């Protein structure tokens, strides 16, 4: 009998990713002899590791994917879309949009999709990279004038007296009629089509199992929700693990292509990239 294959699956330590990978991590699905080792790191760290091809399967920002398309293909399952919502640019109350001309804006990583969308929304902003979970408190105490929030901060910024300047998913939807593609799961091309097809089946089965056993999946995801209530965890998971996550569909694939096209047209992405999806 052939020895089991071990593959590393890298993703963020967040409630939505925890929900998505719960069934895979807990042995709820048949993995056909593949052992999955889960690696948890924030998305900017994963983007940087993907530059080196460190992990066989990894979550990555679509912004970063533009620099990784020679090494990774996109699995058809596991993407996060903001369908009329997404990363939120916030500031303390009294700050006006016009004040951005002189402000320093904290972003959660140079190659996060949030940073790409922000630059598509407004050119020439002065930015400063900070860990995603440090941005909200930094804005609250005035360390930076404005900050771009991803993950749970999209639901909690008002609790600290912060106000929304723009929701980039809302802006993108109004501008394009499409959801804002934020991140997906990439798989290294050197794994070959047979192994890739098996991984794709397992990932889809894990997502589907979570959606079909939502209460159990949420109980697991709550351990990674950084203090959110059960109600807010449920809401956040629902925002980013849904039908779009099971499969991009035609509209989702078009949204990814359009984001990359606009990034290149704006001079943010150095070359034109056609997204490559695993069959």
Domain assignment of residue 211, yes or no: yes
Supply the range of the domain harboring residue 187: 5-81+179-265
- The answer to whether residue 234 is domain-embedded is yes
- pLDDT tens digits, residue range 252-262? 999 999 999 99
My answer on whether 37 and 68 are in the same domain is: yes
Residues 6+ apart with CB under 8 A from 39: 8, 9, 10, 11, 55
Percentage of the chain with pLDDT > 70? 99
pLDDT given for residue 227 in this prediction: 84
Is residue 10 within 8 A of residue 58, CB to CB? The reply is yes
Residue with tokens 């990713």: 17
Backbone φ and ψ of 13, nearest 5°: -85, 60
DSSP 277: B
Q: Do 99 and 132 share a domain, yes or no?
A: yes
Q: Write down the catalytic residue from 11, 63, 77, 151.
A: 151
CATH number of the domain residue 191 falls in: 3.40.190.10
Domain assignment of residue 272, yes or no: no
Are 69 and 205 found together in one domain? yes
pLDDT in tens, 73-82: 999 999 999 9
Residue 278 belongs to some domain of the structure: no
Q: Which helix (H) or strand (E) holds 164?
A: strand 162-167
Q: Write the DSSP string, 218-269.
A: HHHHGGGSTT--HHHHHHHHHHHSSHHHH--HHHHHHHHHHHHHHHHHTTSS
Residue 93 reports pLDDT greater than 70: yes
**Segment 34-68, tens digit of pLDDT:** 999 999 999 999 999 999 999 999 999 999 999 99
As a whole number of angstroms, the distance between CA 219 and CA 175 comes to 37
Domain boundary residue among 116, 145, 176? 176
- Residue 92: in which H helix or E strand, if any? strand 88-92
pLDDT, mean of residues 20-34: 95
Domain-ending residue, one of 150, 176, 202: 176
In a domain, 106, yes or no: yes
Q: In this structure, are 40 and 104 located in the same domain?
A: no
Higher pLDDT, 251 or 4: 251
pLDDT of res. 233: 95
Residues 171 and 222 in one domain: no
Q: Model confidence at 86, in pLDDT bands (50, 70, 90)?
A: very high
Residue 174 has pLDDT above 90, yes or no: yes
Considering the domain boundaries, does residue 198 fall inside one?
yes
Cα atoms in the Cβ-side hemisphere of radius 13 Å centred on 222: 11
Nearest to 268 by CA among 143, 147, 116: 116
Tell me: do 256 and 233 sit in the same domain. Answer: yes
What pLDDT does residue 1 have? 57
Last residue within a domain, chosen from 176, 194, 211: 176
**Number of neighbouring beta carbons within 10 Å of residue 142:** 9
What pLDDT, on a 0 to 100 scale, did the predictor assign at position 44? 93
Average pLDDT taken over every residue of the chain: 96
Mean pLDDT, rounded, for 236-256: 96
Domain assignment present for residue 275? The answer is no
92 and 172, same domain (yes or no) = yes
Count up the domains in the chain and report the number. 2
Active site residue 151: yes
What's this model's pTM, rounded to 2 decimal places?
0.95
Q: Is residue 186 part of a domain?
A: yes
**Shared domain check, 183 and 59:** yes
Question: Across residues 152-162, what is the average pLDDT?
Answer: 94
Sign of the Cα pseudo-torsion (214, 234, 18, 263, in order): positive
**Domain check: are 59 and 137 in the same one?**
no
Helix axes 113-121, 249-265, angle to 10 degrees: 60
- Residue 4 in this model has a pLDDT that exceeds 90: no
């Amino acid at each position: 009998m052939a020895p089991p294959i071990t593959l590393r699956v890298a993703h963020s330590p967040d409630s939505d990713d925890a929900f998505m990978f719960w069934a895979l991590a807990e042995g709820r699905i048949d993995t056909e002899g593949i052992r999955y080792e889960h690696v948890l790191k924030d998305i900017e760290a994963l983007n940087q590791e993907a530059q080196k091809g460190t992990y066989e399967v990894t979550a990555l920002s679509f912004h970063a994917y533009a620099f990784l398309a020679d090494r990774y293909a996109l699995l058809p399952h596991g993407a996060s879309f903001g369908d009329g919502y997404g990363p939120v640019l916030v500031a303390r109350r009294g700050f006006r949009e016009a004040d951005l001309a002189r402000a320093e804006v904290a972003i959660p990583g140079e190659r996060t999709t949030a940073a790409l969308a922000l630059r598509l929304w407004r050119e020439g902003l002065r930015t400063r990279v900070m860990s995603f979970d440090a941005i909200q408190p930094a804005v609250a105490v005035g360390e930076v004038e404005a900050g771009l929030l991803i993950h749970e901060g999209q639901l909690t910024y008002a609790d600290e007296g912060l106000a929304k300047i723009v929701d980039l998913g809302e802006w993108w939807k109004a501008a394009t009629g499409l959801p804002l593609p934020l991140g997906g799961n990439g798989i290294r091309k050197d794994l070959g089509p047979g192994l890739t097809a098996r991984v794709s089946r397992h990932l889809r089965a894990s997502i589907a199992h979570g959606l079909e056993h939502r209460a159990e999946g949420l109980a697991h995801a709550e351990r990674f929700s950084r203090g959110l209530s059960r109600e807010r965890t449920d809401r956040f998971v629902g925002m980013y693990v849904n039908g779009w996550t099971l499969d991009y569909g035609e509209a989702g694939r078009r949204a990814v292509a359009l984001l990359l096209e606009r990034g290149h047209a704006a001079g943010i992405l150095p070359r034109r990239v056609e997204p490559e999806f695993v069959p």
